[in-house]
Amino acid sequence: MSLIDKLKWRYATKKFDHTKKLSAEQLDSLLTAVQLAPSSYGLQSYKVLVVENPEIREKLREAAYGQPQLTEASHVIIFASETTIDEALVAKYVDNIVETRGIDREHIAGFEQTMVGTVDRLSEDQKITWSHKQAYIALGVLLTAAADLGIDACPMEGFQNGKFDEILGLKEKGLTASVIAPIGFRSADDDYSKLAKVRKPKAELFIHI
Ligand SMILES: Cc1cc2nc3c(=O)[nH]c(=O)nc-3n(C[C@H](O)[C@H](O)[C@H](O)COP(=O)(O)O)c2cc1C
pLDDT value, residue 176: 98
Share of the chain above pLDDT 90, in %: 100
* Ordered DSSP codes for 48-80: EEEE--HHHHHHHHHTTTT-THHHHSSEEEEEE
Residue 79 CB less than 6 A away from ligand 1: no
Strand partners, 78: 49, 180
| Intra-chain end-to-end CA distance of the chain, in Å | 32
The closest residue, in CA terms, to atom 31 on ligand 1 is 155
- pTM equals 0.97
pLDDT value, residue 32: 98
Residue-wise pLDDT for 18-38, tens only, equals 999 999 999 999 999 999 999
Among 16, 156, 179, which residue has the most ligand 1 atoms within 8 Å of its CB, making it the best to mutate? 156
195 CA: nearest ligand 1 atom: 26
CA of 30 relative to ligand 1 center, distance in Å:
19
CA of 148 relative to ligand 1 center, distance in Å:
18
CA of 93 relative to ligand 1 center, distance in Å:
32
| CATH of region 3-85+122-205 | 3.40.109.10
The closest residue, in CA terms, to atom 29 on ligand 1 is 155
d(CA 87, CA 71): 38
CA 160, chain centre distance (Å)? 16
Residue-wise pLDDT for 156-196, tens only, equals 999 999 999 999 999 999 999 999 999 999 999 999 999 99
CA of 12 relative to ligand 1 center, distance in Å:
5
Angle value at C-alpha 149, between 27 and 26, nearest 5 degrees = 20
CA of 157 relative to ligand 1 center, distance in Å:
8
Residue 179 CB less than 6 A away from ligand 1: yes
